[in-house]
């Protein structure tokens, strides 16, 4: 039986046009760990959901939300695998929003996403606990900036938990404005980080 074509939303008709050099560009970009980085497939979502639940617990996105984000912009939803095992992922959308501005409704990103928008916003970036501090997140950030350039975004945006700001700074982001209360996490500071793409 064939795959439902409506599930094959990879976000942009242009993504797989031209040379298929994406994996070559993004494998081992930063890490000492051998990584395979590429767009998530529908089959990856179950693994992503399990990893999201491990990382974020009850606050993590559910399977339906992850699937709808993948359908929204599959080209901006990347996985990192090591030896076949999912070790990290990054989700994004393209929008024109000027943060700080946010709505917590589940369809917020889908309502804002627009191919051709000038900013690529990182919705979430997560790495499996046992694989941290080996450059997986940095590699995913390098890969997503490649996606942003390919979609002619002029800026990357992310909202960082305060203690992770050095991760984004190392990837070329700069702090823009504090976003207190961005998520309902007591004693956590949040900062809007932006990276201009040349």
Ligand X SMILES: CC(C)(COP(=O)(O)OP(=O)(O)OC[C@H]1O[C@@H](n2cnc3c(N)ncnc32)[C@H](O)[C@@H]1OP(=O)(O)O)[C@@H](O)C(=O)NCCC(=O)NCCS
Residues that bind ligand X (CB under 6 A): 55, 125-127, 132-138, 160-161, 163-164, 166-167, 170
107 CB-near residues (< 8 Å, 6+ apart): 68
Question: Is it true that the peptide bond before 100 is cis, omega within 30 degrees of 0?
Answer: yes
Query: Shortest Cβ distance from residue 163 to ligand X (Å)?
Result: 5
Distance CA 37, CA 145 (A): 13
Residue closest to 111 by CA, chosen among 62, 69, 152, 155: 69
C-beta of 152 vs 161, nearer to ligand X: 161
Nearer to ligand X, 13 or 180 (CB): 180
Q: In this structure, are residues 147 and 92 in contact, taking their beta carbons and an 8 Å threshold?
A: yes
The distance from CA 58 to its chain's CA centroid, rounded to whole angstroms, is: 20
Which residues have C-beta within 8 Å of that of residue 126, sequence separation ≥ 6? Answer: 51, 52, 55, 56, 88, 89, 90
Smallest separation, CB 122 to ligand X (Å): 8
Shortest CB 30 distance to ligand X, Å = 7
Measured CA to CA, the distance from residue 37 to residue 135 in angstroms comes to: 12
Judged by beta carbon, residue 28 or residue 115, the one nearer ligand X is 28
Among residues 76 and 126, whose Cβ is nearest to ligand X?
126
Least distance to ligand X from the beta carbon of 123, Å?
9
- Nearest Cα neighbor of 124 from 40, 13, 23, 196 is 40
Q: By C-beta, is 3 or 170 nearer to ligand X?
A: 170
Task: Name the residue nearer to ligand X (CB basis): 15 or 108.
Answer: 108
Shortest distance (Å) from residue 31 CB to ligand X: 7
- Min. distance of Cβ 97 from ligand X in angstroms? 17
CA distance 48 to 144: 17
């Amino acid at each position: 039986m064939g795959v439902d074509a409506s599930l094959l939303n990879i976000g942009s008709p242009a993504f797989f046009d031209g040379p298929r050099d994406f994996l070559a560009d993004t494998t081992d970009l930063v890490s000492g760990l051998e990584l395979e980085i590429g767009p998530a497939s529908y089959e990856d979502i179950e693994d992503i959901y399990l990893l999201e639940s491990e990382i974020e617990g009850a606050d993590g996105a559910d399977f339906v939300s992850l699937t709808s984000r993948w359908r929204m912009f599959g080209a901006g939803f990347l996985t990192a695998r090591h030896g076949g095992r999912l070790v990290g992922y990054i989700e994004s959308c393209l929008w024109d929003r000027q943060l700080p501005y946010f709505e917590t409704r589940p369809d917020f990103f889908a309502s804002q996403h627009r191919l051709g928008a000038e900013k690529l916003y990182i919705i979430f970036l997560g790495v499996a606990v046992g694989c941290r501090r080996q450059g997986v997140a940095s590699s995913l950030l390098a890969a997503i900036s490649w996606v942003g350039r390919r979609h002619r975004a002029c800026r990357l945006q992310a909202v960082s938990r305060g203690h992770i700001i050095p991760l984004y700074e190392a990837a070329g982001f700069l702090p823009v404005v504090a976003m207190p209360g961005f998520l309902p996490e007591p004693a956590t500071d949040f900062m809007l980080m932006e990276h201009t793409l040349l």
